[in-house]
A and B are shown apart, each in its own frame.
Chain A
Amino acid sequence: MAGDVLAALRAAAGEATGPADDGARPAGPDGPDAAVVRPAGDEDVVAGVRPRYVAAPGSMAEAAALVRVAAARGLAVVVRGAGTRQDWANPPRRLDLLLDTRRLAGVVEHAAGDLIVVVRAGTPVAELQAALATAGQHLALDTPLPPGAASTVGGVVATNTSGPRRMRYGTVRDLLIGITVVRPDGVVARAGGKVVKNVAGYDLGKLFTGAYGTLGLVAECAFRLHPLPAARAFLTRRAGDAAEAGRLAAAVLAAQVVPSALEVDAAPDGRTEVAVLLEGTPRGVKERAAATRALLGGATVADEPPPWWSSYPWRPGDVGLTLTAALSGVPRLLAAAAEARRRHGVALAVRGSAGAGVLHAGLPSATPPDVVARTVAELRVVAGSAGGHAVVLTAPPQVRERVDLWGPVDGLHLMRRVKAQFDPDARFAPGRFVGGI
């Protein structure tokens, strides 16, 4: 029976690869002869759940044909890019077919004069940035990662990844101007376009951003780009405690130095640093750096970021969270973290965008699950009272059993209805998302 499904998937991929094929077919990660469709192996396990089959479509047509087979046979599907965040969110309730996007790669169009790029979802972000840099441009989005990881564009969109420069440039939702998706029923659909300004029709790009693959396959994305700044400077300063970090951040926000990022790092031992990124013309950055240094009451000025910049404060296997708050609530989040360290004796690290109200927090994998649960509950109360949320992105299985990863979600009944419309049989990443979606 498994052979039948494999044959059907292979036939779908083959049929779609006729002369009408719609795009380039770059070599797969395992070389040009790597099987497009194969039985799953140990390396394909998603958050502890092993799929039966893996298919790596090389074109939109192949992807659609494979998804149609999955639909006809009721296969549960998870989409995987580089797999750097497959441990995020809940494990899939069931999983048959892993759709690997890495052969669905390459820049379709880079119109430098229009500051836009259209790119296939499996393209590594680092590769995209390198291509854009030759024209003095970039996708102004940080992708905090363990070193060496090769996050894909699609993965970044699906998990709504962002980093320090979100303060100036926004996040995926602000940069994504068009999207092409394969619906769970195999229909290919596009929303938005490749012009920055466009209000025709619903903005489905936003709906698919951060949806963790529960609404379908993100196949192609169009982004607005920004020119690479001519100059930049990083200013770093130690802060005594959460309150001082908050005061420093507020002083920078209230001034006229227009930072591209305003970050804070609070290590498990309580050592806290505030860092500011300035971007612009050489002369402008120099003057602004001087002004910022004065605001901070002294700071180290460097061309390169501090070592912790744009990285998550946890290692693989640890507990990783996102904490959000209204801007004025950031010091309260930092203080709550310090309080949790004191009360529970946990090695809680906090780091993130004080200038945007989004922090990340990490707890070592060895932290007892009940302590993690209490810490998360306390942080959730503080974040909630500051207008934000505490979401557990990743955690060991024994923690997942005790903690609701997502916490309270506004509009959940509408989200369920959206899911029911796009994926009535709940086959795409079932159970991974909020409320069991």
Chain B
Amino acid sequence: MTTTDVSTLAATLRAVLGDHQVITDRQELRTYECDGLAQYRVVPALVALPRTAAECAATVRACVDAGVPFVARGSGTGLSGGALPHADGVLIVTSQMRAIREIAPADERAVVEPGVINLHVSRAAAPYGYHYAPDPSSQQVCSIGGNVAENSGGAHCLKYGFTTNHVTGLEVVTPDGDLVRLGGRAPDAPGYDLLGAFVGSEGTLGITTEVTVRLTRSPESVRTLLAGFTGTDQAGAATSAIIAAGVVPAAIEMMDALAIEAAEAAVRCGYPAGAGAVLIVELDGPAAEVDAQFADVERLCRDNGATEIRVAADDAERALIWKGRKSAFAAVGRISPDYIVQDGVIPRTALPEVLRRIAEISARHGVRVANVFHAGDGNLHPLVLFDDAVPGQAERAEEVSAAILDICLAQGGSITGEHGVGMDKVSFMPRMYTDDDLDTMQLLRCAFDPRGLANPGKVFPTPRLCGEVPGRRRGVHPVQEAGLAEVF
């Protein structure tokens, strides 16, 4: 984009949105140069701050008219660079669309604008005895619109599912600039499940302007324990035993020695001293069920070598147990100047082998790795520690981080369980999927965004040329070849 192009587009957007809703000042633009993955930084050409769905649609139409790419951004907490701006594009920020439009307990639904903070939905529903189940660790700051784009998870998605299981309706601005409703308050809308396809599409199919979410009845009883083990093998065995017993905990989280050390240094959560691993197990539901199963869980932890079990007596003690886990990523900053948060998934039963391999790679490269994971569903968050000031360390850390994803893939797992592909993992997509798989996914992209303007460069390593599909024929015309003219 030339300076003139930017000025022209800015003028168009100011006419639609108002002067204060369009940012062109270089210094102000810089505050939007990255999301939660700060190693990638791009200053956008423009920032637009629509206040309504209509303004958002008008912004997208202005981009389409100018042939300019656009990127949506919620709170900017994503960890895969999904909201990384485009240097020649418009960053559309939803932070001014923050109304909770309706809490409808009788429908078990809430209707919110995309900029609404995740935790605020649960707070608004709490007086009715409901909450919004997906609880990413960033839930105090991340937006629902961002959650929709990334199909965010959280510690409790083992039992309750991910964002995609809790969004029943969307209003979106398509990459054509149209406002379209997908799904609604009732389930099973007729037609293709475009709602399901949109959730987790990382801003490449359009921008969410209204979200209808499922509200979940808050459980009668919640019980949480912290168990210390000599090592991750024992903690892993306890996890397997719990799952094998037919228990579906609300959450099972594991941290290894290095992660415990970091959490202890940062928030003094009082985890068992000298433990090689801790498990946090939380059960929720009707009191009668929770009591019965909680006794089983305690026993299974002991049977598998728990050296110490601490049961939260009240909400304050539960909060303390969770504090160590939820602050783990940031806490690593206490023991290392720099670190990479990895996000990979393995079949849960492969955990012992995968941890051994990670330890081998860590030793071979001389790079420390702290492990934090959602043990119940095999979602690993290895934290790869390094010091950027030491030449070569950042590169080695990147190598280790990449090697961990290869281990996940070798086990039949995934390169991302909840952080998304974004910009960060584009190059890993061909390791997980074939060219045909990626080509097929992009058929959907082409249906929504034939011009390729919605968050280009994210998710897919090679954009598909959408124009090549219609009218495509290979070889002799089929009618001629098959002699089937009469069927046409």
Residues of A within 8 A of B (CB): 1, 4-5, 71-76, 94, 96, 111, 113-116, 136, 160, 170-171, 173-174, 181, 183, 187-191, 193-204, 206-207, 209-211, 215, 226-230, 250, 253-254, 256-258, 280-281, 283-284, 286-288, 322, 324-329, 356-358, 383, 386-389, 391, 406-407, 409-412, 414-415, 417-418, 420-422, 424, 433-435
Within the complex, the shortest CB–CB distance from B138 to chain A, in Å, comes to 15
The answer to whether A387 and B437 have CB atoms under 8 Å apart is no
The answer to whether A72 and B481 have CB atoms under 8 Å apart is yes
Interfacial chain B residues near A196, Cβ < 8 Å: 377-378
Interfacial chain B residues near A206, Cβ < 8 Å: 164, 193, 195-197
Q: Report if A207-B196 is in contact (Cβ < 8 Å); known contacts: A190-B434, A193-B412.
A: yes
The answer to whether B106 and A328 have CB atoms under 8 Å apart is yes
A210 nearest CB neighbor, chain B only: B193
Interfacial chain A residues near B127, Cβ < 8 Å: none
State whether the Cβ of B246 lies closer than 8 Å to any Cβ in chain A: yes
A-B residue pairs in contact (CB < 8 Å), sample of 9: A113-B240, A114-B347, A188-B436, A198-B417, A201-B438, A203-B151, A284-B289, A358-B186, A414-B447
The answer to whether B246 and A389 have CB atoms under 8 Å apart is no
The answer to whether A357 and B378 have CB atoms under 8 Å apart is no
B284 nearest CB neighbor, chain A only: A258
Residues of B within 8 A of A (CB): 104, 106-109, 129, 150-151, 153, 157, 161-162, 164-165, 174, 180-197, 199-201, 217, 219-220, 240, 243-244, 246-248, 285-289, 292-293, 345-349, 374, 377-379, 412-421, 425, 429, 432-434, 436-441, 443-448, 459, 466, 469-472, 474-475, 478-479, 481-484, 487-488
B414 nearest CB neighbor, chain A only: A198
Provide the bound-state CA to CA distance between A284 and B161, in Å. 23
The answer to whether A411 and B482 have CB atoms under 8 Å apart is no
A201 nearest CB neighbor, chain B only: B441
**Given A136, A173, A287, which contacts B246 in the complex, CB threshold below 8 Å?**
A136
Interfacial chain A residues near B379, Cβ < 8 Å: 197
Interfacial chain B residues near A327, Cβ < 8 Å: 106-109
The answer to whether B197 and A202 have CB atoms under 8 Å apart is yes
The answer to whether B349 and A113 have CB atoms under 8 Å apart is yes
The answer to whether B418 and A199 have CB atoms under 8 Å apart is yes
The answer to whether B443 and A421 have CB atoms under 8 Å apart is yes
Within the complex, the shortest CB–CB distance from B417 to chain A, in Å, comes to 4
Q: Can you add 5 more A-B contacts, CB < 8 Å, to A115-B243, A424-B470?
A: A73-B478, A204-B197, A406-B190, A409-B191, A410-B182
Provide the bound-state CA to CA distance between A209 and B153, in Å. 22
The answer to whether A191 and B441 have CB atoms under 8 Å apart is yes
The answer to whether A174 and B165 have CB atoms under 8 Å apart is yes
The answer to whether B347 and A288 have CB atoms under 8 Å apart is no
Interfacial chain B residues near A226, Cβ < 8 Å: 248
Interfacial chain A residues near B470, Cβ < 8 Å: 420, 424
Provide the bound-state CA to CA distance between A259 and B461, in Å. 45
The answer to whether B448 and A414 have CB atoms under 8 Å apart is yes
The answer to whether B194 and A411 have CB atoms under 8 Å apart is yes
Q: Which of B193, B475, B479 has the most CB atoms of chain A within a 10 A radius of its CB? A: B193
The answer to whether B193 and A173 have CB atoms under 8 Å apart is yes
**Given B165, B185, B190, B285, which contacts A258 in the complex, CB threshold below 8 Å?**
B285
Provide the bound-state CA to CA distance between A393 and B157, in Å. 33
Within the complex, the shortest CB–CB distance from B427 to chain A, in Å, comes to 12
Interfacial chain A residues near B345, Cβ < 8 Å: 193, 195, 197-198
Within the complex, the shortest CB–CB distance from B304 to chain A, in Å, comes to 14
The answer to whether B194 and A414 have CB atoms under 8 Å apart is yes
Interfacial chain A residues near B378, Cβ < 8 Å: 114, 195-197
The answer to whether A203 and B189 have CB atoms under 8 Å apart is no
The answer to whether A207 and B197 have CB atoms under 8 Å apart is yes
A228 nearest CB neighbor, chain B only: B246
Interfacial chain A residues near B191, Cβ < 8 Å: 406, 409-412, 415, 433-435
Provide the bound-state CA to CA distance between A423 and B288, in Å. 52
Interfacial chain B residues near A73, Cβ < 8 Å: 478, 481-482, 484
The answer to whether B347 and A111 have CB atoms under 8 Å apart is yes
Q: Report if A358-B187 is in contact (Cβ < 8 Å); known contacts: A4-B482, A197-B345, A200-B429.
A: yes
The answer to whether A195 and B412 have CB atoms under 8 Å apart is yes
Interfacial chain A residues near B445, Cβ < 8 Å: 202
Interfacial chain A residues near B448, Cβ < 8 Å: 414, 417
Provide the bound-state CA to CA distance between A32 and B289, in Å. 49
The answer to whether B421 and A200 have CB atoms under 8 Å apart is yes
Pick the 3 closest A-B CB pairs, nearest first.
A206-B196, A74-B478, A388-B186
Interfacial chain A residues near B106, Cβ < 8 Å: 250, 327-328
The answer to whether B484 and A187 have CB atoms under 8 Å apart is no
Q: Report if A202-B349 is in contact (Cβ < 8 Å); known contacts: A76-B487, A280-B289.
A: no
**Given A5, A253, A433, which contacts B482 in the complex, CB threshold below 8 Å?**
A5
The answer to whether A284 and B286 have CB atoms under 8 Å apart is yes
Interfacial chain A residues near B164, Cβ < 8 Å: 173, 203, 206
The answer to whether A281 and B289 have CB atoms under 8 Å apart is yes
Q: Report if A207-B180 is in contact (Cβ < 8 Å); known contacts: A114-B378, A195-B412.
A: no
The answer to whether A74 and B488 have CB atoms under 8 Å apart is yes
**Given B104, B185, B197, B440, which contacts A187 in the complex, CB threshold below 8 Å?**
B440
Interfacial chain B residues near A356, Cβ < 8 Å: 187
Within the complex, the shortest CB–CB distance from B285 to chain A, in Å, comes to 6
The answer to whether A209 and B193 have CB atoms under 8 Å apart is yes
Provide the bound-state CA to CA distance between A201 and B479, in Å. 36
The answer to whether A187 and B181 have CB atoms under 8 Å apart is no
Provide the bound-state CA to CA distance between A66 and B440, in Å. 19
Interfacial chain B residues near A189, Cβ < 8 Å: 434, 436-437, 439-441
Provide the bound-state CA to CA distance between A388 and B374, in Å. 36
The answer to whether A418 and B484 have CB atoms under 8 Å apart is no
Provide the bound-state CA to CA distance between A193 and B440, in Å. 15
The answer to whether B413 and A418 have CB atoms under 8 Å apart is no
Within the complex, the shortest CB–CB distance from B264 to chain A, in Å, comes to 27
B240 nearest CB neighbor, chain A only: A113
Within the complex, the shortest CB–CB distance from A374 to chain B, in Å, comes to 20
Provide the bound-state CA to CA distance between A420 and B288, in Å. 53
Q: Report if A328-B482 is in contact (Cβ < 8 Å); known contacts: A113-B244, A189-B439, A203-B196.
A: no
A174 nearest CB neighbor, chain B only: B165
Interfacial chain A residues near B415, Cβ < 8 Å: 200
The answer to whether B414 and A326 have CB atoms under 8 Å apart is no
Interfacial chain B residues near A201, Cβ < 8 Å: 421, 429, 432-433, 437-438, 441, 459
B206 nearest CB neighbor, chain A only: A414
Interfacial chain B residues near A229, Cβ < 8 Å: 246
